[in-house]
A and B are shown apart, each in its own frame.
Chain A
Amino acid sequence: MTRYIVRRLLQFIPLLFLISLLLFSLLQIIPGGPLAAYENNPNVTSEDMARLEERLGVNDPLPVKYGKWLGNVLRGDWGYSIYTQRPALQEIGDRLPSTLYLMGIALFISLLISIPIGLIAALKPYSLFDVVTTTIAFAGQSVPIFWFGLILIILFHSTLTNPLTGAPLLPGGGMYTLDAPFSIEDWLSHLVLPVAMLALYQTATVTRLTRASMLDVIHQDYIRTARAKGLKERAVVIGHAFKNGALPLVTIIALELPGLFNGAVFTETIFSWPGMGRLFITAASQFDYPVLMAVLMINAALILFFNLVADVVYALVDPRIRYA
């Protein structure tokens, strides 16, 4: 197993190298380059421009530029944001935690809701409960989540008010109230809507998957055996059926995590959440190369890592699978 993981990690190196080369070349196509922002600034003289160009190596040929970038990155230097002058890694370090905890809570809540619903639906296929939840889940997968976020704000922020204070029922953005002392209620109330928005698609998907994989399992011989030897229905469902039915879920959930990242971009935009997604959008509209490259590469590495986690966890929970 260790050998398998090491081999997979080694395969990441050429892959990440290729991805970085492609993305780096793409960024170089943009006309004007990173200094376009200073072009119409009267305080920046043409000598300043020349000096900046020299320092940033704007006029180097592409292979030289890429070589410099790669060399620096391998030494842990991802460059400085052109706009804030802060190290790109520091910019990301400030934002990544808030994205990750938003994603983590959303994932946790979605599993908490979807797995039991999918399980119950599978136990009574074509019952009223099954038909209703399956239809809602199907619809949930078709809702554009940015629209869902706007509707949540219209409903819970602009329309409904707190009956005691008359203030909006839930805050419509931010991580906490500015200038207010930290309180658990304040923190939680800021989480409700973003988490609901981000969890929607995941909840719908996992509900359908749980139902489908439980239906596959429930008619297997070993389930009949478990029932025949007189086990309680509860033990059969949880101990035998779910244990096997959950196997494909593990992989799918790990593979869906990059999708959660995409969702976070919308959630952060709508709810002014200071995370990676908003950082990227700001950087993209300003052509802030170092930050763009860092965000892209960290995301690509995370995607590869989640793929590996999916395979490894699958092998860990399923004794039938052995990687050499």
Chain B
Amino acid sequence: MLAMTWRQFKQHHPALIGTILIILFALTAIFASIISPYDPETSNLDTRMQSPSAAHLAGTDELGRDLFTRLLYGSRISLAIGVLSMALAVSVGTAIGAVAGFYGGWVDNLLMRVTDVFLAFPRLFVLILLTTILRQLNLPRLPASSFVPIVLVIGLLSWMSIARLVRAAYLSIKEKEFVEAARGVGAPSARIMFHHILPNAASPIIVAATLGVAASIITESGLSYLGFGVQPPTPTWGNMLRNAQAQMTYAPWMAIFPGLMIFLAVIAINYIGDGLRDALDPRRGGK
């Protein structure tokens, strides 16, 4: 199964390039302190607002900080938020969708109405509201400078489409004979739900989760751009863009590079998702 998927996936060249790019991003994020000689948060007034050069590959900002270094450290936060918030959304969505689809009846009805309520929330507005509230509360375990609040907020507002997808898959799979057989030998419901049905519903979840990581990265950078995301001095691609706005006319590189990183990460992940969809869907096969 895995080997076959990989063979199919390799055929999708953009997806392959996307994978390489993301691995590269991950490696530079992990080894940021080895790659760059500068510190991302220490300002240096001698090197303010320099355009890109050999010493400063992406130029410097208004405090003389090396932007290339900040981009590397920023990718840590931005990629981590994308992956973690999607992991949260997938867990919540899968649990809700699985229970709703498996049990049906009033349980299904109740859970789907809750899903409807969440879908009717004006998403960006509620995201802004929740991050504001969390920052204002300033809970000791959720400091504003950390990325945990953002992960929680994005994750809790992104599970709905996954829940619907999982529910639909469960509705059709639970009628299959192998589920009947598992019931016959007395397997408990939880085991049937997660051991027997879940692997058969995995393909659409994997694809949706992959595309969801890209969407979360855009959401996080958007929130940080508006000033409601991760707070400076911690660099993320989004708050670097926000910072660039005031200096944009005479230091355009400050705005160009962070956005380019977001764009490259997002398009790479979207292509991976596209490739996975082709590879995991047996009906599509080949080209």
Contact = CB atoms under 8 A, between A and B. Distances in A.
A153 interface: yes
Contacts of B120: 15-16, 19, 300, 303-304
B62 to A, nearest CB: 16
Interface in A112-149: 138-139, 141-144, 146-148
A30 interface: yes
A269 interface: yes
A242 B121 CA distance: 34
Given A281-B128, A296-B129, A269 B226 contact: yes
Nearest to B124: A262
Contacts of A281: 128, 226
A15 B248 contact: no
A76 to B, nearest CB: 21
A150 B129 contact: no
A284 B95 CA distance: 32
Contacts of A144: 218, 221-222, 225, 259, 262-263, 266
A63 to B, nearest CB: 19
A164 interface: no
Contacts of B137: 29-31
A146 B229 CA distance: 14
Q: What is the interface residue range for chain B against chain A?
A: 35 or more
A150 B130 contact: no
Given A31-B137, A146-B222, A151-B255, A22 B122 contact: no
**Which of A22, A139, A143, A150 has the most B CB atoms < 10 Å from its CB?**
A150
Nearest to A147: B259
Contacts of B241: 146-147, 150
A64 interface: no
B259 A150 contact: yes
B267 A280 contact: no
B53 interface: no
Contacts of B133: 26-27, 29-30
Interface string A244-275: 00000000000000100110011001100000
A32 B117 CA distance: 28
Contacts of B20: none
B122 A150 contact: no
Contacts of A22: 117
Nearest to A141: B270
Interface string B6-50: 000000000000000000000000000000000000000000000
Interface string A141-171: 1111011101101100011000000000000
A300 B263 CA distance: 30
A18 B244 CA distance: 40
A179 B122 CA distance: 36
Nearest to A280: B125
Interface string A1-35: 00000000000000110110011001101111000
B281 interface: no
B132 interface: yes
Interface string B72-94: 00000000000000000000000
A60 B119 CA distance: 31
A29 B222 CA distance: 24
Contacts of A40: none
Contacts of B244: 150
Nearest to B134: A29
Contact of A158 (B130, B221, B222, B249): B249
B9 to A, nearest CB: 17
Interface string B52-83: 00000000000000000000000000000000
B233 interface: no
B249 A300 contact: no
Given A146-B222, A158-B248, A300 B122 contact: yes
Contact of A142 (B124, B214, B228, B256): B214
Contact of B117 (A18, A261, A296, A299): A18
A269 B245 CA distance: 11
Interface in B243-280: 244-245, 248-249, 252, 255-256, 258-260, 262-263, 266-267, 270-271, 274
A182 B225 CA distance: 33
A261 B124 CA distance: 9
Interface of A: 15-16, 18-19, 22-23, 26-27, 29-32, 138-139, 141-144, 146-148, 150-151, 153-154, 158-159, 258, 261-262, 265-266, 269-270, 280-281, 284-285, 287, 292, 295-296, 299-300, 303-304
22 contacts: A15-B120, A19-B120, A30-B133, A138-B270, A139-B267, A144-B222, A144-B263, A146-B259, A147-B255, A147-B258, A147-B262, A148-B259, A150-B245, A150-B255, A153-B248, A154-B252, A154-B255, A154-B256, A266-B226, A270-B245, A280-B128, A292-B129
Q: 8 closest Cβ contacts across the A-B interface?
A: A147-B259, A299-B122, A142-B267, A262-B124, A142-B266, A158-B249, A150-B255, A154-B252
